[in-house]
Structure 1
Amino acid sequence: MPESLTPEPGSTGDRLLTPAEVAEMLQLSVDEVVALVLDARLRGMKVGSPGRWRIESASVEGYLDDQAEEARRMALWRESNAASFPELWGRGAGGGRPGP
């Protein structure tokens, strides 16, 4: 029986992108994309001789998901900081205002 053409377990079978392609997608500079790879926020590797950076497309998707989640959490944090205690706990029996 012929072997399957699917990638072996452990291999990504993922498309590799150039830093310029990723930079265009993320609206960043190429240097910023390489910095994201060096900071391990994107998965990439140098291939060829001389080595040229290539970035896994799935890691770009993961990075975008992480950025969206971080933005969501920051919005919730700002919302919770903007809420006043009377809004959260009610105004109590006196209505929360000092008398005349």
Structure 2
Amino acid sequence: MPESRFLTLADVAEVLNVELDTVRQLVASNELRAIQIGTGGAWRVEQTELQQFVNDQYERRRRESMFDQADFADIPEITGSFGS
């Protein structure tokens, strides 16, 4: 893995152990911040942005877990689970 400030989308896919298309979708949805070099050029992800994305995913999972364990998690109006 290169030790540069910026990673290619292929590098990011390797780090996250996902398909390249998954990384492209994350960039397209702006879930993973990236920059495009030049007009119609290659996308690059700064290592700090990748680390922030990973941290955000951990935080999201932590919050989901807390919500699932909350006293009100079985209320259909809150969870959206009407008519199981």
TM-score under structure 1 length normalisation? 0.60
Aligned to 1:44: 34
Compare the two structures and name the one with the higher helix fraction: 2
Aligned to 1:53: 43
Q: Does 1:68 align with 2:40?
A: no
Larger RCO of the pair (alpha carbons < 8 Å, separation 6+): 2
Aligned to 2:19: 29
Asked which structure has the greater CA Rg, the reply is: 1
Unaligned runs of 5+ in 1: 1-13, 84-100
CA RMSD of aligned residues (A): 2.4
Unaligned runs of 5+ in 2: 74-84
Aligned to 1:7: none
Aligned to 1:16: 6
- Relative distance call for 1:81 and 1:54 in structure 2 (3 A) is same
How far does residue 46 in structure 1 lie from its aligned partner after superposition? Answer: 2.2
TM-score under structure 2 length normalisation? 0.69
How far does residue 45 in structure 1 lie from its aligned partner after superposition? Answer: 2.0
Which portions of structure 1, spanning 4 or more consecutive aligned residues, are displaced by more than 3 angstroms? Answer: none
How far does residue 50 in structure 1 lie from its aligned partner after superposition? Answer: 6.3
Rounded Cα–Cα distance in structure 1 between residues aligned with 2:64 and 2:40: 41
Rounded Cα–Cα distance in structure 1 between residues aligned with 2:38 and 2:67: 45
Partner of 2:70, secondary structure, is helix
